[in-house]
Structure 1
């Protein structure tokens, strides 16, 4: 897994919290710029329940664990350290940041990148969590092809559920929309679904009936069963932002959850703190998160260079040297 149990030094140019595609990509970009980098990874990737990652150019269908193992190897090959631990605290220090790790170890960082991802808050329905990432899905681009032409049921569980339904309708002619406990469909939304031949089933869903990891039916409270081969839900996406909040940051509300707001380079409102991947972009798939990691790594390197250059100019001036000398 290319991980270690202890950091090799007390201080780093950059500590990256999170060893997913965003964190590892940021670490690789920084290490290739000869920065000292520590990646702290708690080993809880969001896509762990999934059998494969899709739309990953050159690695289509790769197992998520294999992709991360390759990413660790690449980052470590350029000198980044990958530490298997949990970052439990963060505070400002004289040199930047002090990060408290599980086991009582602390490390110092001049800059901090939060690639902590998000938590999927799933609908509280029996069967959903057990089948999550297998036959209960949410993203048509991540898993839609795998359920093409099958019986897909969409349980209304968020503001984007009708949109989800129309996306999955592109993949199958047999799509059923369950209104569940959501407010009554607006006439425009109902017209859209009916125009696309989506079956609408009113009534509250009680549970999912399954056979192993395969969903077989959506069961309503009145006992009605509608047979399906896959179920789509809309989780609430909540950024893992504990460290950001400890440092004084405030998460930003979004119609489908919360996130750490950043500029296009990943810079947050807190000086010296960047965020990349799902912690800052709730819709980022694997390659988007990886791209954001590269962008953020480059931005942090540039920020450090600016600081170091300014210090060098100041030191030279203090020594009474002119730039002609």
Structure 2
């Protein structure tokens, strides 16, 4: 479950302009902030306290930290950022937008929280993550993160050898089925509103994957509260312990309209993300994006690495801007002496 955000920190928003405001306190945001703080940059992380992986019991696929609860990773990450002088502030961003440039011509941004607090920064790192959009099947959302999973690498080992159903949402679900077939011999593919060509049906049959074309009407919960089955439109009940769903993934954009960051759709309706360059640099000068907000399929390790790269890139450009400002001041002083 997500941690309560009200009493978690005594950190406050600074009155002075900081080097970087990081919007988002997940793996990408915290690792970016860590890189910046270790470079003696003043950095503030704005954390909504609602991580994508909050329903999960553990994070997997990241060496050394495999099996660690997501909340523990975030707790330790916050501590480490603070250890180097960074601040972590809980709150929802209501607005983020460019502000008038400084007297030396450097960029400025204002980030305002829903409670009215605000901070001014020279640069912004957007690491807001994404939201998973599930199909509108009654009973499905209640099992999200437990009996309903989306990633074979995040959850596959934990659901191995169980009766698994693939709830098709689009072309990506075919690939999903082949990956989950590696984990169980009891796999049923529910086509839903999608269609399967004869070649795919033959490939599924060769792997022992059963195909059900009757639409799923609802997810059935057992007496113990866990997922037990799906009920089809014709009334038939198909027992399943796990459902795998390729979600529609949408970058979290709340409060960021003022930055005017370009967005783009992924193919086959997979989702919508912020567009960014190799180091997370956006088309908007002074703004970077890292993690699931721009790479919808990145796991925790990849998101953390992207945050580190963006943080290093921001620091490098700030160092160049600091040098330009110092040179201009020295030249101005020399010309008046």
Bin of the TM-score, shorter chain as denominator length: over 0.9
Which of 11, 20, 24 is equivalent to 1:18? Answer: 24
> 237-246 or 284-293: which moved more?
237-246
Instruction: Identify the residue that residue 118 of structure 2 maps to in structure 1.
Output: 106
Using the alignment, how far apart are the partners of 2:52 and 2:307 within structure 1? 16
- Check the 8 A contact 1:4/1:84 in 2, yes or no: no
Match of 2:92 in 1: 86
Say if 2:198 is the partner of 1:187: yes
Task: Describe the superposition over 1:47-78 as per-residue Cα deviations: whole angstroms up to 9, x where unpaired.
Answer: 00111111122121111111100110111111
Partner secondary structure for residue 334 of structure 2: coil
Partner of 2:209: 198
Taking the aligned partners of 1:5 and 1:129, their CA distance within structure 2 comes to 34
Q: 1:307 aligns with which of 314, 321, 330?
A: 321
Report if the CA contact (8 A) 1:134-1:213 is conserved: no
| CA-based RMSD | 1.5
Does the CA contact (< 8 Å) of 2:150 and 2:245 recur in 1? yes
SS of the residue corresponding to residue 163 of structure 1 reads helix
Q: What CA distance in whole angstroms lies between the structure 2 residues aligned with 1:265 and 1:99? A: 22
C-alpha displacement of 1:103: 1.3
Contact 2:163-2:242 within 8 A present in 1 as well: yes
Helix, strand or coil at the partner of 2:188: strand
The question of whether the paired residues in 1 share the 8 Å contact of 2:11 and 2:87 is answered with no
User: Residues 154-180 of structure 1, C-alpha deviation per residue, up to 9 Å, x if partnerless?
Assistant: 011133100001000111111110011
Task: Return the offset for 1:5.
Answer: 5.7
Q: Does the Cα contact within 8 Å between 2:98 and 2:258 map onto a contact in 1?
A: no
Query: 1:120 pairs with 119, 122, 132, which one?
Result: 132
Q: Structure 2 CA distance, aligned partners of 1:3 and 1:301? A: 26
User: Following the alignment from structure 1 to structure 2, what is the Cα–Cα distance between the partners of residues 98 and 125?
Assistant: 41
TM-score (norm 1): 0.95
For 1:229 and 1:176, how far apart are their aligned partners in 2?
Answer: 11
Cα displacement string for residues 216-235 of structure 1 (whole angstroms, at most 9, x for unaligned residues): 11110101111111101111
Provide Cα deviations, 1:140-193, integer angstroms capped at 9, x if missing partner: 0000000111111001113310000100011111111001121x2122322222
For 1:5 and 1:14, the matched residues in 2 are separated by: 16
Q: Deviations over 1:179-216 (max 9, x none)?
A: 1121x212232222222111111111001111244211
Q: Is the 8 A contact 1:18 1:39 kept in 2?
A: yes
Q: Which of 236, 243, 263 lines up with 1:251 in the alignment?
A: 263
What count of residue pairs does the alignment treat as equivalent? 320
1:313–1:5 distance in 2 versus 1, CA, 3 Å? closer
1:55-204 equivalence runs, <5 A: 55-95=61-101, 96-182=108-194, 184-204=195-215
Answer yes or no: is the 8 Å Cα contact 1:158–1:235 preserved in 2. Answer: no
Q: How far apart are the structure 2 equivalents of 1:315 and 1:204?
A: 70
Per mean C-alpha deviation after superposition, the further-off stretch among 186-195 and 64-73 is: 186-195
Query: Is residue 2:331 matched to residue 1:317?
Result: yes
Cα deviation for residue 249 of structure 1 reads 2.1
Question: What stretches of structure 1 of length at least 5 have no aligned partner?
Answer: none
Residue number in structure 2 paired with 1:4: 10
The residue that corresponds to 2:3 in the other structure is none
Pairing 1:236–2:248 present? yes
TM-score norm. by structure 2 comes to 0.91
Residue 45 (structure 1) aligns with: 51
**Does the 8 Å CA contact 1:5/1:85 hold for their aligned counterparts?**
no
Distance 1:5 1:309 in 2: 30
Structure 2 segments unaligned to the other structure (5+ residues): 1-6, 102-107
